[in-house]
Structure 1
Amino acid sequence: MSSACALVLAAVLTATASSSPTKEADADLDGDGTREHITLEVTKPGAFRLSAGAAVAEGELPGVRGVTVLDLDNSDKLREVLVHGEARFRLFRQEGTALREVPLPPGTPSASGNGFLLCDVPMADGWARRDKYLYDAKQPGFTEVPQELYAVGRVLPPPGQVLLQQTPGSTDVVTLVGPERALSLHAFKPDPADVDGGWYLAGVAGTSEDVLGWIPARVLRKKVNVDDGAMLGATVVLPELYASGLKPKVATSFPLLRTRRDDAETVAKLRVGSTVTLLATEGTWYLVQSETRLLGWARAGTLTQGLSALKKAAVPDKRAQLSTLQCRLRAARPAPSAGREDWQPDAAGLILENEYASTLDTYNFCPDGRVVLEFLVDDYKKYGTWTLDGDTLKLELTRKTKQLGVGEPLGPPEGVEGVRQYRKTTPQEGTLAESLTLDWREVLEDVKTPSPSYGPRRGTPTCR
């Protein structure tokens, strides 16, 4: 057998039953019901001889310490042997009368018997990226499971004043963080075009602020300040993601997906009874960290079904949902004509006007889930709550107010037909049980037209 070795950075490899390396062990490696006697001999400094029954393998490994028997995949009867060195190791399996080496991927690995291998790879910024691999006993070998984001969990001071961007590589800025405020790094997104690049999802540590943004890895490593002019010239927008921080237990197993698509690949399937961390949300999707430090996305509806103790929690996050709706609305609208100021999403909420048939309906959406629908006639208003289901806004209206005219009516306002006015009015209030829906896709298609019916209005919505 070749003595070429797959050398990897090592810690203790955790099997189904964790154990310390020894020079001797007994285990059924090939699944034939007979236990092989396994021995490890240091033949010279940096070299070893591994025996399992009649099978023998020799190789090189600095600081040989011992062996452990692993079960990488408990769905078969096979076992593997790990040779531990000083911060390095090699993996073998028995095939007939020979010991065959299984090439290991880079990083510090751990395994739990479910057919997957986790490998921690040190990164330049002082944390370890956790890669996931699927074990194929037929090759044998490992295939990487693609991930979009990696858990970081590090707090550090910024190199100076830095801008947090709305999305990776965006010119839109959500906030400026000064050197006196520590950054909490939640996740890392690699840049396929730059091996030393990528972006960190970050927020301000040690405060109640839950605004999240992205900072380039290269910027984080530079000891520079952002010019004041850079902030003045930047477009300040609402964040795409808000921090959550909830740590519920899994009541029903569900998958974490690689991206925010229902047909995306599965990164991990959560174990019942395990504790997860909800890192961030844009209202509809949540970025979830598993107990094994893997990151993936899950819909808000999936979380409320699969996680315990969420019935009273703010899931889904209405503020994040409203922020996302506004960002989509801004992106769909044509660029403003010269000299006109562009409408921007507002953290206070959204005022949406719908003009049709010589009348005007105004929706006031507030980030706490309340809504007020205003009509042009009689100061008529309906009050209730809104929820988002996919692209459909559902309004449940429970109260109404209006100004009822008293006495002889006056003529209608100039240019308006069918509207009565009175010298005196008296307020009226009543209850409602009315349900309405608003398709956001239809709104987005409408605002793209030359003469849209829908349009946002600047100002603070009134929801009381």
Structure 2
Amino acid sequence: MKTIRRTFAVTTFLLLTPLGAIAREPVKSLSEDLNGDGKKEAISLQWKEGDSTYVLKVGGSTAQGRGDESRVEGVSVVDLNTKDKWKELLVHIELPWDEHRLDIYGFDGKELKPLGSVPTLDQAHGNGIFLSDDWWGFWNRRDKYVLNREKWKIERMPQNVYYVGEEATVTTSFPLTFDRSGKDVVANLATNSKILVLAADPAIPGKLPWFLVKSSTGLLGWAEGEALTQNTTGLPFHE
């Protein structure tokens, strides 16, 4: 029996921009002009080894965060939108199973503002938009985020389903259904046939997604997550 768990995550973030955005390795302290007033703020991150609680300080403003069973790695500076005057802070958190989290903060000149958290920060081009990748057992969930400066929040753009694009071989026949209710069987997949997992719908927190699958005969249908992972081989699980 195979169990889906997100055992792999990108360990670094990649900032791709010709606009001079800043990306640094996480540290305990640094100085940077975060609000565009021409003066550098003193930035520090304090935590105790083995304790998931941290205190982020910028000037006289502080923010506290924590994550259960996590380890703090440090803080770095990034410029998510090079067209405005602000820069953002990333608190790097290491989670169990080699997962990561980035807590993102802004500073308006007076106080720290929590903007949100993401697993990774990828393909940020300095225009206020970035992608975040999160490994879900055998597929990568990619989300798009937009920095909303008026609300001082990062906002995730909703997707109906997420692209998967992984091939597998059926070891025991299981059904594809018309929709995600599990009713109205479209096809029963033949043993030893090849399938293509096209998309995932992780709509229900804490439960395995439903997957949109293409059969070897070209039929499309939905497969329940447990049936797919238990009755196929070849999916790229990271152990």
Residue in 2 aligned with 1:202? 214
Residue in 1 aligned with 2:194? 182
The answer to whether 1:99 aligns with 2:107 is: no
1:80 offset after TM fit, Å? 0.7
Structure 2 counterpart of 1:157, from 158, 169, 186: 169
SS at match of 1:220: helix
Residue in 2 aligned with 1:40? 45
The answer to whether 1:214 aligns with 2:227 is: no
* 1:238-280, Cα deviation, whole Å (9 max, x unpaired): xxxxxxxxxxxxxxxxxxxxxxxxxxxxxxxxxxxxxxxxxxx
Structure 2 counterpart of 1:50, from 33, 56, 74: 56
Aligned counterparts of 1:197 and 1:152: Cα–Cα separation in 2: 12
The answer to whether 1:68 aligns with 2:73 is: no
Residue in 2 aligned with 1:31? 36
1:117 offset after TM fit, Å? 4.0
Structure 1 counterpart of 2:88, from 69, 73, 80: 80
Report the structure number with the largest CA radius of gyration.
Answer: 1
Aligned-partner residue type, residue 52 of structure 1: V
Aligned counterparts of 2:81 and 2:27: Cα–Cα separation in 1: 22
Aligned counterparts of 2:103 and 2:202: Cα–Cα separation in 1: 28
Aligned counterparts of 2:54 and 2:228: Cα–Cα separation in 1: 44
Identify if the C-alpha distance between structure 1 residues 220 and 148 changes in structure 2 by more than 3 Å, giving closer, same or farther.
same
The answer on whether the counterparts of 1:191 and 1:199 sit within 8 Å (CA) in structure 2 is no
Q: Work out the percentage of aligned pairs sharing the same amino acid.
A: 26
The answer on whether the counterparts of 1:122 and 1:129 sit within 8 Å (CA) in structure 2 is yes
Residue in 1 aligned with 2:97? none
Identify if the C-alpha distance between structure 1 residues 30 and 153 changes in structure 2 by more than 3 Å, giving closer, same or farther.
same
RMSD of the TM alignment (CA)?
Answer: 3.5
1:78 offset after TM fit, Å? 0.8
SS at match of 1:157: strand
Residue in 2 aligned with 1:231? none
Higher relative contact order (CA 8 A, sep 6+): 2
1:35 offset after TM fit, Å? 2.8
Unaligned 5+ residue runs, structure 1? Answer: 1-8, 225-464
1:83 offset after TM fit, Å? 1.2
The answer on whether the counterparts of 1:153 and 1:187 sit within 8 Å (CA) in structure 2 is yes
The answer on whether the counterparts of 2:32 and 2:41 sit within 8 Å (CA) in structure 1 is yes
1:11 offset after TM fit, Å? 3.7
SS at match of 2:37: coil
SS at match of 2:228: helix
Identify if the C-alpha distance between structure 1 residues 114 and 168 changes in structure 2 by more than 3 Å, giving closer, same or farther.
farther
Structure 1 counterpart of 2:131, from 85, 110, 118: 118
Aligned counterparts of 2:215 and 2:154: Cα–Cα separation in 1: 35
Instruction: Report 1:344-383 matches (<5 A).
Output: none
Aligned counterparts of 1:201 and 1:189: Cα–Cα separation in 2: 12
Higher relative helix content: 1
Aligned counterparts of 1:60 and 1:177: Cα–Cα separation in 2: 45
1:22 offset after TM fit, Å? 2.3
Aligned counterparts of 1:84 and 1:197: Cα–Cα separation in 2: 28
Aligned counterparts of 1:139 and 1:129: Cα–Cα separation in 2: 26
The answer to whether 1:15 aligns with 2:15 is: yes
SS at match of 1:110: coil
